[in-house]
């Protein structure tokens, strides 16, 4: 997988959080994920299926960042990761993947998205099981950390 497939997810995430929640994420260096695990408290995951390939995308937030995004969107800070927060994480997962889908579609890479799944639990870890390399991008912000992972078969 080359950077052409990762940058649309990065750009889409930064755009979504900036627009929806006035939160500026600073991307770190994209890295091939190997043994190390990225941990977080709430994650949105989604499957992607196209004629050329299939794969999966995930975005993982620290609890503090997820709660701050809710606060900036709705004006009120939840006390913990409740159903409203998981709905928001599912919606962000859809929007980020949808934005990346549009950008990749312009380049001739088409895929359809499944429906998102949200995982909550302190310090859970996510492992994408696909044949291609797994690419992780860490993000920092004024309100906490996030990371995304993308993996496609056979690109």
**Residue 108: DSSP 8-state:** T
Minimum distance, C-beta of residue 106 to its own copies, in the bound complex (Å): 20
Closest CA to 148 of 112, 107, 100, 114: 100
Specify the stretch interacting with its own copies by CB under 8 A; choose among 39-47, 62-70, 72-80, 139-147.
39-47
Specify the stretch interacting with its own copies by CB under 8 A; choose among 7-15, 21-29, 72-80, 129-137.
129-137
d(CA 23, CA 130): 31
Q: At what angle do helices 83-106 and 3-21 cross, to 10 degrees?
A: 130
Widest CA span in the chain = 44
From candidates 1, 8, 33, 43, binder to its own copies by CB under 8 A: 43
Phi/psi class of residue 21: alpha, beta or left (left: φ > 0; alpha: ψ in -120 to 50)? Answer: alpha
Residue 48 as a binder of its own copies (CB under 8 A): the answer is yes
Q: Which of residues 61-100 bind its own copies (CB under 8 A)?
A: 83, 86-87, 90-91, 93-94
d(CA 127, CA 43): 12
The count of chain residues that interact with its own copies, using the rule CB under 8 A, is 40
From candidates 4, 49, 52, 142, binder to its own copies by CB under 8 A: 49
From candidates 95, 116, 135, 141, binder to its own copies by CB under 8 A: 116
Which residue in this structure is represented by tokens 């890295």? 31
From candidates 8, 30, 55, 99, binder to its own copies by CB under 8 A: 55
Residue 125 as a binder of its own copies (CB under 8 A): the answer is yes
d(CA 128, CA 144): 23
> Which residues contact its own copies by CB under 8 A?
39, 43, 45-49, 54-56, 58, 83, 86-87, 90-91, 93-94, 112-131, 151, 153
């Amino acid at each position: 997988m080359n950077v052409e497939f990762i940058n649309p997810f990065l750009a889409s995430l930064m755009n979504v959080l900036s627009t929806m929640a006035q939160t500026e994420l600073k991307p770190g260096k994209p890295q091939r994920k190997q043994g190390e695990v990225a941990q977080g408290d709430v994650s949105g995951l989604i499957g992607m299926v196209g004629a050329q390939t299939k794969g999966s995308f995930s975005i993982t937030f620290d609890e503090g960042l997820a709660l701050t995004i809710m606060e900036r969107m709705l004006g009120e800070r939840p006390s913990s990761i409740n159903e409203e927060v998981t709905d928001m994480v599912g919606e962000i997962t859809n929007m980020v993947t949808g934005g990346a889908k549009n950008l990749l579609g312009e380049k001739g890479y088409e895929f359809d998205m499944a429906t998102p799944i949200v995982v909550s639990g302190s310090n859970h870890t996510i492992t994408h099981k696909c044949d291609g390399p797994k690419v992780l991008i860490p993000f920092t912000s004024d309100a906490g950390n996030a990371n995304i992972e993308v993996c496609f078969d056979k690109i």
